[in-house]
Structure 1
Amino acid sequence: MFVGDYSTGDFSQWWVQCKGYNGEGSEFKSDYSASIVDDPTYGKAARYEVRTGDVPPFGGGERSEVSGTDASGGAEGQIRWYQFATKFDESFPSNHSALGWGLTNQWHGDGSLGSPPLNWTVGEQDGQWTLVAERQSDPGGYLGQLHLFRTPINPGSWHEVKMEVLWSTSDTKGYVRLWLNGARQTFTDGSDTYFVRTLLPGSSPAPTVYYKEGYYRENDIPATGIVYHSGFVCAAAEEEL
């Protein structure tokens, strides 16, 4: 359905947002903010770097990230499978929670309001990469975060992730299943299937999400952060990954 694995050697599979740029990946000229590098595991990977003050032309938080099309996300009642790999540079700050919030992977509502209902963050606990569900009654109507899963950021090593998500505004219908480095994972509630709303109720015309990856963070964090991504695929069934 959607492939964003950088095998093209550029950002043409994506829309790019970083310091000084907000546009088609095919037109983006690589610089320190975002570049394609060779990787012995995946062949090609994207390197994202954010320094203090790296804000795109439209403002908001500091970032270097890419966005997929609607086909990278999901809509009410759809089951989608995701596969991707994320790696933190060995220089990545280990005290990110003390510095401020920061996201590396997110499924963003199809609109400017509200927080991504499902995201991977480094801002919840120092040295930890956390999968978060941001429950909202409507876009921006916050009901509280649920921390579904966490693992050490383990700088210098790839986190190979596979997820099955049923997209829904219902806490009893929506669910997430997770595999990390090939092993099925147990969530913080002790289950291997976490039931939670995965879409934002009240979105217009209908709740949907699209996928983003890179590094997006609170403004004025003094430390430079570097994150690598590769291998993103979204499919309707596991065998299509």
Structure 2
Amino acid sequence: MRLHIGWLAVILVSGPALAGVVWRGDFETGDHSQYSGAQMVRADRLAVVTSPVGEGQYALKATVKQGDDPIDASGNRNELVYLSNEQVGSEYYYRWKVMFAPDFPSVKTWQVFTQWHHDGCCGSPPVEFFVYGEEMRLTLTDSITPWKAPLTRGVWHEFVFHVKWSPEPKEGFVELWHNGQLALKKQTLATMYKGMKSYMKLGLYRSDTIKETGVVYHDGFIQATALEDVMPPPPPPAPAPEEDPKPEPPKPEVPPVVQVPETAPGEGLPAEETSPGVTPGLPGTVSPSVPGISEEMTSTHGCSTPGGPLTALVALLGLLGRGRSRRRR
């Protein structure tokens, strides 16, 4: 009953939509409630996890082991189903993120991680994204593969898929961005089977010949009618680098100040040796030798006595004057 209600709800709201987001399947509800249903053998095969995530707080971890066949059909699978019911002539942008586990199997056979399946009973889906060996591929009706890229494990791949749904090869088209870069220019081809509608499935669906366990993560699915509604916003501009401060000019070195203790006159100075006739403190000064001056006078009034040279000169003039007075007498 839940499946029929989901179909009815999608039919009522399907068809060309106004600009904006039409549907979200980003798991931010913390469960599968955004989807119409699930095809899984056990709940842990389609677990909503908090790590790793491509954005927000939650992502889907899809696990497939050999023998997982919940609908008794070809291949092994565990997938979520969204009954999007794309109409002929409708045009949408789809954006989602996928990460393959580090031990994701490398086999030369198909491993579908996202598909738009027809509502008929048999045959390959008209649009499918899958891994073959070490390549990711996009294949459409009549086995046309317009895009391939190397498989990289352990990193998030972001896809933006632009589609016009039509069974006519000259009316339908596809366009693809991978990790923010245009990977496939608009290519005109059939995107539906005649007389059938399509709906979206994601998780993991693969050949039943694969023995190894496969794990793939999905996150952030958005369906919209305009590219700007699904493309991530550009990263904020990087802050301008801070300018290195200009180096300050070197400061001149100031020699240390040496404190010289004050001394009284004559203190701390070495005694000067004097020779006869040399005045202390006046090197090379010789006392004049004047006739008539005895050694006694020289020792009493010489340059080494208090008064210095001026006193000796006055005394000499006095003696000369006395001699003149004696001659006058």
TM-score class normalised by the smaller sequence: 0.7 to 0.9
**Which residues of 2 match residues 177-216 of structure 1 at below 5 A?**
177-186=175-184, 192-201=185-194, 203=195, 207-216=196-205
Structure 1 position 105 matched with structure 2 position 98: no
2:145 is the alignment partner of 1:147? yes
Q: Is the 8 A contact 2:160 2:178 kept in 1?
A: yes
Report the 3-state secondary structure (helix = DSSP H, G, I; strand = E; otherwise coil) of the residue aligned with 2:228: helix
Alpha-carbon separation, structure 2, partners of 1:185 and 1:196: 17
Matched to 1:159, the amino acid is: H
Distance 1:91 1:200 in 2: 35
Give runs of aligned pairs for residues 72-87 of structure 1, distance below 5 A: 74-87=86-99
User: Following the alignment from structure 1 to structure 2, what is the Cα–Cα distance between the partners of residues 103 and 2?
Assistant: 22
Please give the alpha-carbon distance, in whole angstroms, between the structure 1 residues aligned to 2:135 and 2:229: 30
CA drift of 1:105 comes to 0.5
Greater relative contact order (CA < 8 Å, ≥ 6 in sequence) = 1
The alignment-based identity, stated in percent, is 33
Q: Which residue of 1 aligns with 2:258?
A: none
One-letter code of the match for 1:12? S
Cα distance, 1:236 vs structure 2: 2.0
* Secondary structure, counterpart of 1:122 in structure 2: strand
Equivalent in 114, 126, 148 of residue 117 of structure 1? 126
Number of aligned residues: 206
- Cα separation, partners in 2 of 1:41 and 1:214, compared to 1, 3 Å: closer
> Could you give the per-residue CA deviations for residues 116-135 of structure 1, whole angstroms, max 9, x where no partner exists?
11110113xx2111011122
2:54 to 8, 16, 41: 41
3-state DSSP class of the match of 2:58? Answer: strand
> Which of 205, 209, 212 is equivalent to 1:220?
209
SS in 2 for 1:68: strand
Residues 105 and 53 (structure 1 numbering): CA distance in 2 closer, same or farther, change over 3 Å?
Answer: same
- Judging changes above 3 Å, is the alpha-carbon distance between structure 1 residues 231 and 40 closer, same or farther for their aligned structure 2 residues? closer
Question: Is 1:12 matched up with 2:25?
Answer: no
Higher helix share: 2
TM-score by structure 2 length?
Answer: 0.60
Provide the C-alpha distance between the structure 2 equivalents of 1:215 and 1:68, rounded to a whole number of angstroms. 14
Structure holding more strand per residue: 1
Shift of the 225–149 alpha-carbon distance from structure 1 to 2, 3 Å rule, reads: same
Is the Cα contact below 8 Å between 2:54 and 2:220 reproduced in 1?
A: no
Pick closer, same or farther for the CA change 1:48–1:40 going to 2, 3 Å.
closer
Tell me if 1:131 matches 2:138. yes
Q: Is the 8 A contact 2:141 2:192 kept in 1?
A: no
Q: CA offset at residue 57 of structure 1? A: 4.4
1:149 Cα offset (Å): 0.6
TM superposition score normalised by structure 1 = 0.81
Aligned-CA RMSD value: 1.5
Of 56, 65, 80, 1:51 maps to: 65
Aligned mates of 1:112, 1:228 — CA distance in 2: 27
Q: Give the counterpart letter for 2:39 in structure 1.
A: Q
Q: Which of structure 1's runs of 4+ aligned residues deviate more than 4 A?
A: none
Question: What is the distance in 2 between the residues matched to 1:60 and 1:66?
Answer: 17
Match of 2:103 in 1: 91
Distance 1:10 1:155 in 2: 25
Give the SS at the match of 2:166: coil
Larger Rg: 2
- Superposition deviation, residue 235 in structure 1: 1.5
